[in-house]
Amino acid sequence: MRSPHPPTSDPLAAHVLAGADATEPHPAGVANGREGPPWAELLDGSDEMIFMVDRAGFVRVANAAAVQTLGLAIGQTVTMLPMATVLQGPPGSFELDLDERRLRGRGAPIGEWTSWYVRDVTDQVMRVDALLAERWRSAFLAEAGRRLGSCLNRVRAARTTAVLAVPALADCAVAVLDDERNLAWFRVDVGPEERTESAGSLLRRTLRPDSALDQAMAGLSVLDDPRLGDDIGALLAPGFGTVGSAMVVPLPGHTSPAGALILARHAGRAPFETVEVHLVRQFAARAGAAISAATLYSAQADAAEAVQRSVEPPELPAVPGVVLGAAYRPAWERLRVGGDFYDVRQAPDGSGNWLFVLGDVCGKGIEAAVQSGTARQSLRALWLTEPRPLRLLELLNQAMLTGAEPTMATLVIGTMTAGPTAEVAVTLVTGGHAPPMLMHADGQVTEVDLGGTAIGLIADAPFGEARLTLRPGETLVLYTDGVTEARGRSADNPLFGPDRLAAEIQAYRGAPAAVIAERVAQRVTDWVGERLQDDIAVLVIQAAGPSDAAGSAKDSRR
Amino acid sequence: MTAAVSPADRERYLDLVGDGAQTPAIDFALGLAERGVPPRDVVLDLVAPTQARIGELWARNEWSVAQEHAATHVSEQVVAALAARHRPPAGRGVLVVACVDGEWHALPARMFAEVARWDGWDVRFLGASVPGPHLISYLHRHGPDVVAVSCSVPTRLVAAYRVIEAAQAAGIPVLAGGRGFGPAARWGLRLGADRVAAGAGEAVEVLRSWPLPTVTGFDPLRESFVSDDEHVLIAKRNTQLVAAAMDDLAQRFPALGGYTAHQREATEYDLGQIVEFLCAGLFVDDPELFTTFLDWLRVVLGTRGVPPSSVDLVLDAYQQQLYDFPRARAHLAAGRRRKAG
């Protein structure tokens, strides 16, 4: 503790002190020398900087910490001090940075003097800052993982990568997707006024070997290399200006990088620190994983979609003299296809003869769908050379028996030919399938019982055949067992059954084929309540009356 | 030279579809377009309002259900014919249109899809009742700019909610539309859709003025908007509730004894529908959903000779059964009060 007396060489201070001595209370025991408790020693022992400033702005008391840390001297005017602004203001709390130190203090008036208590909180603040920064990095990575993790689209994952990186990591980010020929890129740039997103692509062969991007595609990171500006300049937003700090990192994929991420900061922003480089790598790892997963998913989904397209129920063709309608509802599946199928094909010889088929391959889901697609294709091929339905069925049976996968199916095959008198001659054959229903002009509904066994079971299976003539006002309904065997949701889960089906068809007497088909499918769906347990396919055939002969051409599946 | 659809045109069109006269109806609609009515107006001002009329005519028992469906079928063909005839511009972006799982009314979504196409969108119409996983897989694969989910019946709102959530999780913004989302499609907002529209015309306007976000801010951990799970528990008990109500009805409404099997089934179906709408109302926590349905049901039953008071008997039966479901009881009470007032 320095003496509260001013240096005698300063007359002004001496004057002020003299005046102050007369009016201000002195800390007890200090002003008058040796008596009382040793206050000076007590204050010198504190780590806190403690000092007093008088009304005129002169330091009057200062403990050892204040002298050492702040460089105070008794009698000094505070206007000379680096922290003058604080000390000249009204007493209160403050926090300021001084020579890389963070000081936190408060002033309290004691009479006309002000006593100041100041602490060096540099370490404490640094710890908190580091903690906050760490917490921010964790939150950023968590957010990135969340957004990227729910994205199974490659392009969108790349775009999300660039979007997340700006402004958190850089002022401009370009995510580049690796590919054999074309490198698609997505860029987000935050300028002084607005944030812009853009996309484009560049040819892989135009990449200069050993350029930063080329290196990143090979798995190497490049940080603040002098040549970096030349390498990435063309990909940065136009008008980006001088690059302050930049890095190019690979987006790690499953076996090779899925792409690269370019990050650039303006000249005014702090360069990438070590801890930030670390963060960028962790971010790139998440982005790369998301892009790779999406790429893998796309490949699988492409395959599934190709299969699905090949087995989707076809659009019904326009058959002269005939009104057709169909409905198809697969059991609830990821893919909207199942083992039920139908098809209508014209005879190759231009005879005006048409083939129709409706069937059900045992099983559900994608396997059944593929099998039904095979059966449909076989039938189409056989139809090119064989016009007799019964023979077609026998050939299909043999084809299925010799196939690699044992398949059992029930189906109805028929041919139809519209005659000159608005009547349609129909031949039906079946193997073990639910009997088609025929609604007569008076609304009466009867089953067309054909017998026969399922195909794909035995070589010389017996099949049933029937011929009938469909007149205007009559309706032939083919359906799969998903219709009649649908279980209702009421207490005892009753079967939908053929009687309800017949009643439903009857209720729609006079309606066009498409409406009847859709209605049957809807009624069964309502019957089941929630999810269909089995596929449903319905094919409805009517003889076009003279009035709607023209309309039939425009009829379609929906 | 833009012409407009007149009320007389709508009357004529209603007659045509009422007769199931497909070819004349198509010719009539195409004729309007040839006279200078924009195809979009043919859909929005001719087909759409006619479909609404048809629904009313059926509800009042003036049209049979077969006639209603035949007419709807004709309208579908009309929209298809207009779509085939009028090729659209392109350039606004890729829009996926899908009906939610279990929603088989495809025509409203189809009309929106075509109108949006004429407005420049590259539309992928996925049709009726698109299973959630199928839709999400499609969205991931094709990464459209926006997905529009259509729901015409409120009982499919739970399915709609799942799809909205999953689409947003995939980063695709969602437009919810259709009568199923309620007045001004407000239940769509409640389910978290980014935008909503009540009808096809409004939906196209919404899309025009929407700066589509490239990445949606979806939080998978966001709090559910439903305060309890009454709607789940009651939906599970649907069958028992209907059976109990049927017993109750048999005692207090002797005519039920003389019902044919078909009539009994139809009654059971109606009773099940009441439970489903109750659950939907609980799900969005809005009694108006349930009371609106009951108003409609009373009209439908009334015009078919079923005394509307029988609905109250059912509500009473459900009240008794659902004694420990406070929200359900409130909705049921609202349904009962509505009739008195």
- pLDDT on residue A374: 87
Say yes or no: B191 and B307 in one domain: no
Residue A267 pLDDT > 80, yes or no? yes
CA angle A104, A105, A108 (to 5 degrees): 165
Is B141 in the same domain as B179? yes
* CATH at residue A21: 3.30.450.20
* Token pair belonging to A488: 């209702």
CATH number, residue B175? 3.40.50.280
Q: Counting one residue from A and one from B, how many pairs have CB atoms under 8 Å apart?
A: 114
Tell me what pLDDT residue A288 has. Answer: 94
Identity of the residue in B143, B214, B243 whose CB atom sits nearest the CB atom of A163: B214
Angstrom distance (rounded) from CA A362 to CA A342: 15
Asked whether residue A271 carries a pLDDT value surpassing 70, the answer given is: yes
| Identity at A377, one-letter amino acid code | Q
In B, minimum Cα distance to A550 occurs at B23
Enumerate the H helices of A1-121 as residue ranges.
11-23, 39-44, 64-70, 84-88
| Residue that terminates a domain, selected from A93, A120, A147 | A120
- List CB contacts (< 8 A) between B104 and chain A: 522, 525
Nearest to A332 among B69, B131, B268 (CB): B131
Least confident of A40-54, A361-375, B28-42, B290-304: A361-375
- In this structure, are A296 and A339 located in the same domain? no
Per-residue tokens: B21? 């006269």
Question: β-strand A445-447 against A353-361: which pairing, if any?
Answer: unpaired
**Whether A145 and A92 share a structural domain:** no
Q: Are A157 and A178 in contact (CB under 8 A)?
A: no
Predicted local confidence at residue B217, as pLDDT:
57
Average of pLDDT values for A359-368? 80
Domain-located, residue A5: no
Please answer yes or no on whether A489 and B171 come within 8 Å at the CB atom.
Answer: no
Give per-residue burial for A76-113: e unless 16+ CB within 10 Å, then b: bbbeebebeebbeeebeebeeebeeebbbbebeeeeeb
Which of A258, A284, A303 is a domain's end point?
A303
Ordered per-residue pLDDT tens for chain B, 341 residues: 578 999 999 999 999 999 888 999 999 999 999 999 999 999 999 999 999 999 999 999 999 888 999 999 999 999 999 999 888 887 889 999 999 988 889 999 999 999 999 999 999 999 888 888 888 888 988 889 999 999 999 999 999 999 998 888 888 899 999 999 999 999 999 999 999 999 999 999 999 998 877 665 566 566 677 778 899 999 999 889 999 999 988 888 788 888 888 888 888 889 999 999 999 999 999 999 999 999 999 999 999 888 888 899 999 999 999 999 999 999 999 998 765 44
Quick one: A299 and A325 in the same domain?
no
Of B33, B53, B85, which marks where a domain is finished? Answer: B85
Same domain, B34 and B136: no
Looking at the domain assignment, is residue A308 inside a domain? no
pLDDT band at A460 (very low <50, low <70, confident <90, very high): confident
| Same domain as A541, residue A401 | yes
Task: Tell me the per-residue pLDDT of B290-341, one tens digit each, with 9 for 90 and over.
Answer: 999 999 999 999 998 888 888 999 999 999 999 999 999 999 999 987 654 4
Whether A6 maps to a domain, the answer reads no
Domain range for residue A463? Answer: 314-554
A305 vs B contacts (CB less than 8 Å): 141
Measured CA to CA, the distance from residue B96 to residue B94 in angstroms comes to: 7
CATH code: domain of residue A546: 3.60.40.10
State how far residue B340 is from chain A, nearest Cα, in angstroms. 31
A360 neighbors A340 (Cβ within 8 angstroms) = yes
Average pLDDT over residues A518-526: 91
Chain B residues whose CB is inside 8 A of the A163 CB are 214-215
Task: Name the residue facing A197 among B134, B169, B214 (closest C-beta).
Answer: B214
The secondary structure of A117-169 as a DSSP string is: EEEE-HHHHHHHHHHHHHHHHHHHHHHHHHHHHT---HHHHHHHHHHHHTTTT
Same domain, B102 and B215: yes
Spatial distance between the Cα atoms of A52 and A107, rounded to a whole number of angstroms: 9
Report yes or no on A4 lying in a domain: no
More confident residue, B222 or A84: A84
Inter-chain contact B140–A152, Cβ cutoff 8 Å?
yes
Contact yes or no for B23 and A146 at CB 8 A = no
Of the candidates B165, B193, B225, which is a domain's last residue?
B225
Interface contact B143-A512, CB threshold 8 A: no
Whether residues B81 and B91 fall in one domain: no
Same domain, B304 and B273: yes
**Considering the domain boundaries, does residue A167 fall inside one?**
yes
Give me the residue label for tokens 């058959």: A319
Do B91 and B220 reside in the same domain of the chain?
yes
The answer on B324 and B289 residing in a single domain is yes
Calculate what percentage of chain A has a pLDDT beyond 90: 38
pLDDT (0 to 100) of residue A21: 43
Contact A103, A119 (CB under 8 A): yes
Q: Is residue B123 a contact partner of residue B200, using CB atoms and an 8 Å limit? A: no
Q: What percent of chain A is modeled with pLDDT above 70?
A: 90
Q: Are residues B292 and B199 in the same domain?
A: no
Question: Total structural domains in chain A?
Answer: 3
Residues B189, B142, single domain; the answer is yes
Cβ atoms of residues A463 and A433 within 8 Å: no
A41 touches chain B (CB under 8 A): no
Determine the average pLDDT of the residues in A183-195. Answer: 88
Please indicate, yes or no, whether residues A148 and A20 belong to a single structural domain of this protein.
no
What is the maximal distance between C-alpha atoms in chain A?
Answer: 137
- At residue A509, what is the residue type? R
pLDDT recorded at residue A9: 42
Question: For residue A476, what are the β-bridge partners?
Answer: A438, A541
The reply to whether B247 and B187 lie within a common domain is no
Does B79 share its domain with B185? no
Query: What residues in chain B have their Cβ under 8 A from chain A's Cβ atoms?
Result: 20, 22-23, 26, 65-66, 69-70, 73, 76-77, 80-81, 104, 106, 127, 129-131, 133-134, 137, 139-143, 169-171, 214-215, 218-220, 238-240, 242-243, 262, 268-269, 272
Q: Tell me the CATH number at A296.
A: 3.30.450.40
Return d(Cα B337, Cα B341) in angstroms, integer.
Answer: 6
Sequence-distant (≥ 6) Cβ neighbours of residue A449 within 8 angstroms: A435, A464
Q: What is the pLDDT of residue A17?
A: 36
Top pLDDT among A524 and B221 is at A524
Residue A2 lies in a domain: no
> What is the reported pLDDT for B242?
93
Residue B338 CB neighbour total at 10 angstroms? 16
Residue A327 located in a structural domain? yes
Is the domain of A390 the same as that of A496?
Answer: yes
Q: In this structure, what token pair is assigned to residue B116?
A: 């949006």
Tens digits of per-residue pLDDT, A191-234? Answer: 878 888 889 999 988 888 888 888 888 888 888 887 787 778 88
Who among A297, A332, A490 is closest to B239 (CB)? A490
Tens digits of residue pLDDT in A118-147 = 999 999 988 998 899 999 999 999 989 988
Q: Give the strand order in the sheet containing A259-266.
A: A195-203, A182-190, A172-177, A259-266, A243-251, A222-223
HEC profile for A392-461?
A: HHHHHHHHHHCCCCCCCEEEEEEEEEECCCCCEEEEEEEECCCCCEEECCCCCEEECCCCCCCECCCCCC
- Least CA distance to A332: which residue of chain B? B131
Last residue of some domain: A274, A303, A332?
A303
Residues A293, A321 within the same domain: no
Number of Cβ within a 10 Å radius of residue A468: 16
pLDDT at A277: 92
The pLDDT of residue A323: 92
Average confidence score pLDDT of chain A: 84
Whether residues A288 and A169 fall in one domain: yes
Chain B residues with CB-CB distance to A147 below 8 A: 171, 215
Band the pLDDT of A11: cuts 50, 70, 90: very low
User: Do A112 and A152 fall into the same domain?
Assistant: no
Among candidate residues B203, B225, B247, the one where a domain is terminated: B225
- pLDDT at A339 (0 to 100): 84
Least confident among A22-31, A110-119, A265-274: A22-31
Whether residues A52 and A145 share a domain: the answer is no
Residue in chain A lying closest to B133 (CA): A334
Position A230 in a domain:
yes
Is pLDDT at A558 greater than 70 in this prediction?
no
CATH of the domain at B69: 1.10.1240.10
- The residue that leads in pLDDT, B91 or A438, is A438
B130: domain range? 87-225
Same domain, A90 and A144: no
Q: Residue A558: list chain B partners with CB under 8 A.
A: 76, 80, 106, 127
Number of domains in chain B: 3
Chain mean pLDDT for chain B:
90
Q: Do A146 and B220 touch (CB under 8 A)?
A: yes
For chain A, state the CA radius of gyration. 44
- A388, A244: one domain: no
- Using the Cβ of A298 and the Cβ atoms of chain B, whether some distance falls under 8 Å is answered with yes
Edge-to-edge order in the sheet of strand A59-62: A59-62, A49-53, A113-120, A101-110, A93-98
Position A283 scores a pLDDT of: 95
